[in-house]
Amino acid sequence: MINIVLFGKPGAGKGTQAEFLKSQYQLVHISTGDVFRYNIKNTTDLGKLAQSYMDQGDLVPDSVTINMLEAEVEKNHDAKGFIFDGFPRTTAQAEALDAFLSKKEMQVTATIALEATDDELVERLLKRGETSGRSDDQDEAKIRNRFDEYNQKTAPLRSFYTNQSKFHSVNGIGTIDEITARLTSIIDRF
């Protein structure tokens, strides 16, 4: 079983690459954003709980996020593996993911970070914002704020997974095919 944590700053290409990897390795792609939207839209118990925090302007606690993620893994018990996209975002979440996977006799196989310069990513996001309709992709200040949040909360995962010999950095600049080839060269080692 292959379980990949795919991370990088907004605009790094995680969603695009996850689609290729999902198909190539028959993995289940679990996007935290998609899971949140599904649970909220379908007013599941976890969705209602998450919405109650969001309505107060609070961040959804890790425990709720982790419970949603666990439910997604449980729904796919025949999976050959998973791509975790947008999770974990913090060391505490990474520890919780390891504990959960361990209970299922699974583990994170590799963590792959798609790397690109902030200026390159700003350009990508502004271009995406022209067609996506996402307001957070149309304002450079908001984009750079998302990068700051990533640097504060998610970047420490580099050390966490390096200490487990599971961290891999991939150049996220180039054509989609070039970046996919870089990713598969890592995954094919497992």
pLDDT per residue as tens digits for the range 130-180: 888 777 788 898 889 888 888 888 878 999 999 999 999 999 999 999 999
Q: What is the pLDDT of residue 175?
A: 93
Q: What is the pLDDT of residue 171?
A: 95
What is the number of alpha carbons within 13 Å of residue 15 lying toward its C-beta?
7
Q: What is the pLDDT of residue 34?
A: 85
Q: What is the pLDDT of residue 84?
A: 95
Q: What is the pLDDT of residue 20?
A: 93
Q: What is the pLDDT of residue 22?
A: 94
CATH architecture of 2-187: 3-Layer(aba) Sandwich (3.40)
What would the mean pLDDT of 45-60 be, rounded to a whole number?
A: 84
What would the mean pLDDT of 21-48 be, rounded to a whole number?
A: 90
Give CA–CA dist 62/109, Å, rounded: 22
Give CA–CA dist 39/189, Å, rounded: 35
What's the mean pLDDT when you consider all of the chain? 90
What is the value of pTM for the model shown? Answer: 0.85
Determine contact, residues 136/122, Cβ cutoff 8 Å. Answer: no
Q: What is the pLDDT of residue 55?
A: 81
- Residue 135 token pair: 């307001």
pLDDT digits (tens, 9 = 90+) for 76-114: 989 999 999 988 988 889 999 999 999 999 999 999 999
Residues labelled catalytic: 14, 89, 128, 134, 146
Q: What is the pLDDT of residue 18?
A: 93
Three-class DSSP labels, the chain: CEEEEEECCCCCCHHHHHHHHHHHHCCEEEEHHHHHHHHHHCCCHHHHHHHHHHHCCCCCCHHHHHHHHHHHHHHCCCCCEEEEECCCCCHHHHHHHHHHHHHCCCCCCEEEEEECCHHHHHHHHHHHHHHHCCHHHCCHHHHHHHHHHHHHHHCCHHHHHHCCCCEEEEECCCCHHHHHHHHHHHHCCC
Quickly state the pLDDT bin for 62 (edges 50, 70, 90): confident
What would the mean pLDDT of 36-55 be, rounded to a whole number?
A: 88
What would the mean pLDDT of 33-62 be, rounded to a whole number?
A: 85
